[in-house]
Structure 1
């Protein structure tokens, strides 16, 4: 069964994480699909609350079904030797109960039966003795049968290596396969060891390719929240608000002085000089923003706006050393620039909803401040002037 996340419920104000899958429930006019919810505290919900034993009773009674009873069962593949079968075992009520139990363990951050099987495999690799092989067998058999073919994540062999390893020497694999031998078990051990070598070599290669990534974790993400009524003058006590575009920090760019980044951005966006001047001279950030949004914009603005913003941020922070110190104090933290007044192109609004370009450009400006050059950073390589 495919499980979906996230979901949760609240109990006395505490969040209990959960997940859900589809099942069929018997009603007055037959079966219909609904959701079965499983929660970290072991509670299950499917039109009514229950625990695992309650789910067992409902499965046994037919009140809940795992497939549509009104449809014919899918045809099984042509019979093949069981030991080479590459399709899952049939989904049974008992297997599904084990799957639900695994899901509850996962919601609690505890190992599932598949995780425990891998732990046993690693123990056997470290010390390939009979006692550890038997631990692998017990852990493998504890996995719900319909999930065993997926435990190794091997599309070609599925769980065949485990079928071989868990068969006692002298016995046929799965009852209809070749006789298990010490050499067969040794081959399976080499299969796992070679997989580990492949993973290790891949990681070593990535470490070479990604050598420019810092080894220790970076500083925690810093979120810059919008202030709807920003002050007209810089406050005496500076904080991270100084990094916002609405912060009052007059700067000069291309021989023009702008009160804030917002003033400069929208003034330079204007297609006509009179609009530029009105925006530049606006008394407030809000007025500058709204004037800019109503005027005719330069036709090339979508193509150049990122470069313009880069140049304006450079000017602001190179001309205000005290603000540069605040930006440098963020170390290597990711900067999340939020808000609704500026467009999603510039702001961070969650996955798929905002591109956070202001945050990215602040990080770029920070990197440039760490590596000063004789070049005058108050302008970009190309100058952007209002149309006259």
Structure 2
């Protein structure tokens, strides 16, 4: 099955994450099947028309109310050789139930069947006893049959090393494969050891290459929404001070502007008369409309990022209280959204968005933090980044 997500439901104010896939469903025996959504949640609840659980899902499959493959299609022919087949086993109701149970484990952030199989592999590597081989066998068989070829993440050998290891010496793998020897069992252990060594070398290489990567995960993304206040901005606008139309007068390149938006669109205009009109506009939105309708400087595409960065630096350098709001966002990614700004500046949902405003705000934030650290160590230091 192809699982999609994310989805969720709310229970007593708590978000329960879920995932969904398509399944064939019918109301009663004899009715035609149709494609429906089967949704599973981290707490074990399952929805397909009715709310149920794993036991209920099994019953619906046994009764023929649900089907995991298109009932109108003929079943695929059996593989002529299980050992040489490059495909996973066919999707069955039992295999699908194992897959659903595994999906619930993943949503609940518990070990999946594949992870438990790897844990069993590690135990057997450390102590290759018969008891540990039986535990490995049970862990491998708990993986949905149609997904077992993927459990080792090896596109070439697939799950063959495990199938060799779980076959007794003197027996043929899968009944039609090679007869297993003690040397073959040892070669599988060597295969896992070599894989561990490659992983260790890659981890050591990445430790050097990613030496400056933060050890801890960052804050969740912060979304800066476009907001209209017809009666004026509130006394405590909070994160809305990050918006370019927020009224914070700045001096930049020898001129005074009522907001970043005033400065940006005034400086984009080719004619001095247009620049003056935009600069003196009653609001940021009006400055935007005037600027958008004015003739643009020929070099504007090449300099607009530099101009915007300069305006933002001026805003937060000249208004320390606003700078503290920006710094308070920590290392969160800033997603700058809005319908009034071009996708070049915003985090538009259709993949056209470049989110340059969010990226510039993150840059200015890092400069502010660096300057604060510099001043804490040397109060007489003068920053060279334009924020002093």
1:312 has 2:311 as partner: yes
Paired residue for 1:154? Answer: 154
Q: Which secondary structure does the structure 2 equivalent of 1:194 belong to?
A: helix
Worse-superposed segment, 187-196 or 152-161: 187-196
How far residue 207 of structure 1 moved from its aligned partner, in angstroms, is 2.5
TM-score between the two structures when normalised by the length of structure 2: 0.82
Deviations 1:238-273 (A, max 9, x none): 965544323333333222221211110011122322
Worse-superposed segment, 157-166 or 246-255: 246-255
Paired residue for 1:197? Answer: 197
Q: Distance in 2 between matches of 1:322 and 1:9?
A: 39
The structure-2 alpha-carbon separation of the partners of 1:186 and 1:344, relative to structure 1 and needing over 3 Å to count, comes to: same
Deviations 1:107-151 (A, max 9, x none): 222222222111111222233332222211111112222221121
Q: Distance in 1 between matches of 2:244 and 2:319?
A: 14
1:286-301 superposed matches below 5 A: 286-301=285-300
Paired residue for 1:64? Answer: 66
Paired residue for 2:228? Answer: 228
How far residue 285 of structure 1 moved from its aligned partner, in angstroms, is 2.3
Worse-superposed segment, 150-159 or 317-326: 317-326
The higher-RCO structure (CA 8 Å, 6+ apart) is 1
Paired residue for 2:43? Answer: 41
Asked if structure 2 preserves the Cα contact closer than 8 Å seen for 1:234 and 1:248, the reply is no
Deviations 1:354-387 (A, max 9, x none): 4321221122234445369876849xxxxxxxxx
1:184 has 2:184 as partner: yes
Q: Which secondary structure does the structure 2 equivalent of 1:38 belong to?
A: strand
TM-score between the two structures when normalised by the length of structure 1: 0.82
Q: Distance in 2 between matches of 1:374 and 1:44?
A: 58
Paired residue for 1:140? Answer: 140
Q: Distance in 1 between matches of 2:198 and 2:224?
A: 43
Q: Distance in 2 between matches of 1:214 and 1:282?
A: 44
Paired residue for 1:384? Answer: none
Paired residue for 2:248? Answer: 249
Q: Distance in 1 between matches of 2:312 and 2:216?
A: 28
Q: Which secondary structure does the structure 2 equivalent of 1:67 belong to?
A: coil
Asked if structure 2 preserves the Cα contact closer than 8 Å seen for 1:24 and 1:66, the reply is yes
Selected match of 1:54 from 51, 56, 61: 56
Paired residue for 1:382? Answer: none
The structure-2 alpha-carbon separation of the partners of 1:301 and 1:151, relative to structure 1 and needing over 3 Å to count, comes to: same
Q: Distance in 1 between matches of 2:195 and 2:31?
A: 52
1:95 has 2:95 as partner: yes
Q: Distance in 1 between matches of 2:51 and 2:323?
A: 57
Structure 1 portions without partners, runs of 5+: 379-388
The structure-2 alpha-carbon separation of the partners of 1:329 and 1:24, relative to structure 1 and needing over 3 Å to count, comes to: closer
Q: Distance in 2 between matches of 1:5 and 1:196?
A: 32
Asked if structure 1 preserves the Cα contact closer than 8 Å seen for 2:224 and 2:243, the reply is yes
The structure-2 alpha-carbon separation of the partners of 1:309 and 1:139, relative to structure 1 and needing over 3 Å to count, comes to: same
Structure 2 portions without partners, runs of 5+: 372-380
How far residue 201 of structure 1 moved from its aligned partner, in angstroms, is 1.6
Q: Distance in 2 between matches of 1:255 and 1:234?
A: 30
The structure-2 alpha-carbon separation of the partners of 1:359 and 1:11, relative to structure 1 and needing over 3 Å to count, comes to: closer
Asked if structure 1 preserves the Cα contact closer than 8 Å seen for 2:252 and 2:314, the reply is yes
Paired residue for 2:279? Answer: 280
How far residue 274 of structure 1 moved from its aligned partner, in angstroms, is 1.2
Paired residue for 1:259? Answer: 258
